[in-house]
Amino acid sequence: MTDALTTWAGSHTFRGGPVVHPETVEQVAELVAGARHVRALGSRHSFHDLADGPGTLVVLDRLDVPTVIDPDAGTVTVGAGVRYGELAQDLHAAGWALHTMASLPHIAVAGTVATATHGSGVTAPNLSAAVRGLEIVGAGGEVRTLGPEDPELAGSVVALGSLGVVTRVTLAIQPTYDVAQEVWLDLPWRTALERFDALMSSAYSVSLFTDWTGDAVGQVWRKHRVDGDAWTLPQAGDVLQGARPAPGPVHPVPGPDPVACTQQGGVPGPWHERLPHFRLDFTPSAGAELQSEWLVPREHAVAAIEALRRIAHVTSPLLLVSEIRTIAGDDLWLSTAHGGDRVALHFTWKPLRAEVDAALPVIEEALAPFGARPHWGKLFADEDRALRGLYPRWDDQVALLARRDPEGVFANDFLVRHGLRA
């Protein structure tokens, strides 16, 4: 008897099956063509039933697709199941880089872009925005290739696995670069909010870590892009007035050993060893946890943060830590950053599912005036089916799903529950 298949943090047990591990695109096509219902699994880093379904579960961890760099086009084509940390090592060794990384390098490429997962930076759109092409096995087992000029690409990147099994992804790349990371402690909330835009723009990537209580932000992580041999760590400036530099390495979650975190202290190093918060060869974050996140238009960020501080009595007892980051806008139909720059309000919860589920509607009510969009791969309530009103291309997305998968081969409870499938 084998152990039940769960999400990365054990937050959901998959009920679908059989679970298969195809090694070629042709095998994927045969599986899809012969199945009534199919869902694809990557590194299983969602926290709910997004990737689950009533039928075959296709795990892409053994898919044998070569990584191909096209220096003239400035792209890399990679197998859907490859983890970002592994791809980053290959790119850096060849002199190339991605524009950003998520906090966890452990996540697979296809699942990451399908859920609009992001890094941080006022000029850095989410990882999905780097997609320049997809290879998808569709509902009848047909293999389709979408290029950058395909009118369906913008609706096919952040598609939640609803259009088929993605087998190859083409991403924009750029010449490799170095990053230096520094951490500051106990930044007064007054300073953080009064100078919010300047603070979040003070480095290539900035993260604020808080438990929403007290008068200060617990940690400020700044990741600076290093340009030139004469680079020196920027001065703190007014945006960090009242904060103090961390005396040594810290972990964003109170308690765990910071050995799992990427190098701090302002020491320059390769982009992929600084932009994530956690190292690929260690268990990331807390491990036993739940996660939620909502993204609000950047112009509403301070008001949304103040609203969350007012309900700290609800959230703080359940929290391991919260993180605030910025993401540049894009034009992908179901991207949480569609149409403009966003600020992400992230919650890493203790593994208390019933209590967290009860808190979700309270958070969504507090954030409703700001057009908050929940992260697709993390826990949220959407009790009133409000998502449709938050995405200008929602109806176009629904029509695309119905056209490409009329029999609902890739449909599941998650898509039905949130109104993307009937």
- Structural domain ending residue among the three candidates 374, 397, 416: 374
Q: Are residues 264 and 218 in the same domain?
A: yes
Q: Are residues 150 and 193 in the same domain?
A: no
| Alpha-carbon torsion (266, 342, 85, 152), positive or negative | negative
Q: Are residues 267 and 132 in the same domain?
A: no
Q: Enumerate the H helices of 103-233 as residue ranges.
A: 109-114, 153-156, 189-194, 196-200
Q: Are residues 156 and 253 in the same domain?
A: no
Residue 177 DSSP symbol = -
Q: Are residues 118 and 194 in the same domain?
A: no
- Structural domain ending residue among the three candidates 176, 209, 229: 176
- Per-residue confidence at 3, pLDDT binned at 50, 70, 90? low
In a domain, residue 84? The reply is yes
CA distance 256 to 254: 6
CA distance 321 to 339: 28
In a domain, residue 246? The reply is yes
- Structural domain ending residue among the three candidates 334, 349, 374: 374
CA distance 98 to 76: 10
- Per-residue confidence at 232, pLDDT binned at 50, 70, 90? confident
Q: Are residues 144 and 193 in the same domain?
A: no
The backbone torsions φ and ψ at residue 342, rounded to the nearest 5 degrees and listed phi first, read -130, 160
For residues 409-416, give the mean pLDDT: 97
Q: Are residues 133 and 225 in the same domain?
A: no
In a domain, residue 267? The reply is yes
In a domain, residue 122? The reply is yes
- Per-residue confidence at 77, pLDDT binned at 50, 70, 90? very high
- Quote the pLDDT of residue 1: 34
Q: What is the count of structural domains for the chain?
A: 2
In a domain, residue 419? The reply is no
- CATH of residue 120's domain is 3.30.465.10
State CA 357 to chain mean position distance.
21
Find where tokens 């830590």 sit.
321
Q: Look at residue 181 and give its three-state secondary structure.
A: strand
Q: Look at residue 209 and give its three-state secondary structure.
A: strand
- Per-residue confidence at 285, pLDDT binned at 50, 70, 90? low
- For the question of whether the overall pTM of this predicted structure is more than 0.75, the answer is yes
Q: Are residues 303 and 208 in the same domain?
A: yes
Q: Are residues 161 and 257 in the same domain?
A: no
Q: Which helix (H) or strand (E) holds 38?
A: strand 38-41
CA distance 410 to 416: 11
Q: Are residues 104 and 167 in the same domain?
A: yes
Q: What is the pLDDT of residues 112-121, one digit of tens each?
A: 999 999 999 9
Q: Are residues 309 and 276 in the same domain?
A: yes
- CATH of residue 359's domain is 3.30.70.2520
Burial class (CB in 10 A: 0-12, 13-18, 19+), 33: middle
Helices and strands: H and E segment counts in the chain: 11, 20
Give CA angle at 271 (172, 176), nearest 5°.
Answer: 55
For residues 21-26, give the mean pLDDT: 97
Q: Which helix (H) or strand (E) holds 165?
A: strand 165-172
Q: What is the pLDDT of residues 316-345, one digit of tens each?
A: 999 999 999 999 999 999 999 999 999 999
In a domain, residue 54? The reply is no
- Are residues 26 and 64 in contact, defined by beta-carbon separation less than 8 angstroms? no
- Domain holding 113, by residue range, is 68-176
In a domain, residue 351? The reply is yes
Q: Which helix (H) or strand (E) holds 397?
A: helix 394-404
In a domain, residue 74? The reply is yes
CA distance 211 to 230: 38
**pLDDT greater than 90 at residue 351:** yes
Q: What is the pLDDT of residues 187-228, one digit of tens each?
A: 999 999 999 999 999 999 999 999 999 999 999 999 999 987
CA distance 344 to 119: 10
Q: Are residues 183 and 171 in the same domain?
A: no
* Residue (of 204, 220, 171, 211) closest to 69 by Cα position: 171
